[in-house]
């Protein structure tokens, strides 16, 4: 069975600094998708970034980028120039190609220090 592990329950970063959130996953499939979702306090969960396993190039969305290491089954999220609005719970997630469901990690709560 596939699993997603986020080993950092909480992290803090100074405003304007860079922070990296870790995620590892376990799967025997070769085709799959990885996601990072953000859930701000009392607000909707939104998709931050997505990576297709068949793509070697790391996905980037403005200040958010990933380090996708397929052999190591690692999918970390880097947030550059952290802003107060980045404070949220971040979930790493996996979907196998053809699967109905997404498997989520337990989340990392990110605090931004002014």
Partner 1 sequence: ETGVTQTPRHLVMGMTNKKSLKCEQHLGHNAMYWYKQSAKKPLELMFVYNFKEQTENNSVPSRFSPECPNSSHLFLHLHTLQPEDSALYLCASSQDMKGPREQYFGPGTRLTVT
Q: Does 44 bind partner 1 (CB under 8 A)?
A: yes
Q: How far apart are CA 21 and CA 9, in angstroms?
A: 10
Expressed in angstroms, the distance from the first to the final Cα of the chain is: 41
Q: Does 64 bind partner 1 (CB under 8 A)?
A: no
User: Max alpha carbon distance in the chain (Å)?
Assistant: 43
At a CB cut-off of 8 Å and minimum separation 6, what does 27 contact?
2, 73, 94, 96
- Least distance from partner 1 to the Cβ atom of residue 19, Å: 22
With CB under 8 A as the contact rule, the residue among 2, 52, 70, 80 that binds partner 1 is 52
Nearer to partner 1, 15 or 26 (CB): 26
4 φ/ψ angles, rounded to the nearest 5 degrees: -130, 130
- Least distance from partner 1 to the Cβ atom of residue 102, Å: 6
Contact footprint for partner 1 (CB under 8 A): 33, 35, 37, 43-47, 50, 52, 91, 95, 97-98, 100-102, 104-107
């Amino acid at each position: 069975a596939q699993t997603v592990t986020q080993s950092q329950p909480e992290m803090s970063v100074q405003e304007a600094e860079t922070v990296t959130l870790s995620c590892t996953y376990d799967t025997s499939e070769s085709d799959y998708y990885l996601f990072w979702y953000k859930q701000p306090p009392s607000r909707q969960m939104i998709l931050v970034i997505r990576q297709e396993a068949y793509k070697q190039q790391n996905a980037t969305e403005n200040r958010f980028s990933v380090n996708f290491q397929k052999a190591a089954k690692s999918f970390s999220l880097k947030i550059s120039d952290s802003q107060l609005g980045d404070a949220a719970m971040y979930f790493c997630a996996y979907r196998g190609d053809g699967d109905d469901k997404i498997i989520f990690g337990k989340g990392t709560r990110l605090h931004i220090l002014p």
